[in-house]
């Protein structure tokens, strides 16, 4: 069905709305499947900062996703 590609496109648009640092981290971890160590090496950020940034990014995307009625809160 077209549902999955449409949902993926919506998520991509939501990720594009994130602040640059959050967008970069969520793309590296959740889309490109980088490890935390690989992200740290690429960005110069420590693991704690990466995890915090990723958590905030995921929360923001989830909030956008919920606001358009694609999932239940």
Please, what sign has the CA dihedral across residues 45, 46, 47, 48? Answer: negative
Of 54, 56, 58, nearest to 43 (Cα)?
54
Say yes or no to pLDDT of 69 above 90. no
Averaged pLDDT for residues 35-41: 98
Confirm whether pTM is higher than 0.85: no
Higher per-residue pLDDT: 46 or 67: 46
Please, what sign has the CA dihedral across residues 34, 48, 13, 66? Answer: positive
The separation between CA 24 and the C-alpha centre of its own chain, rounded to angstroms, equals 8
Res 3: pLDDT: 60
Res 73: pLDDT: 44
């Amino acid at each position: 069905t077209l549902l999955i590609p449409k949902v993926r496109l919506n998520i991509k648009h939501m990720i594009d709305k994130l602040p640059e640092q959050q967008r970069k981290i969520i793309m590296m971890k959740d889309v490109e499947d980088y490890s935390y160590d690989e992200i740290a090496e690429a960005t110069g950020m420590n693991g704690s900062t990466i995890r915090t940034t990723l958590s905030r990014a995921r929360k923001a995307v989830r909030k956008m996703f919920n606001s358009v009625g694609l999932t239940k809160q």
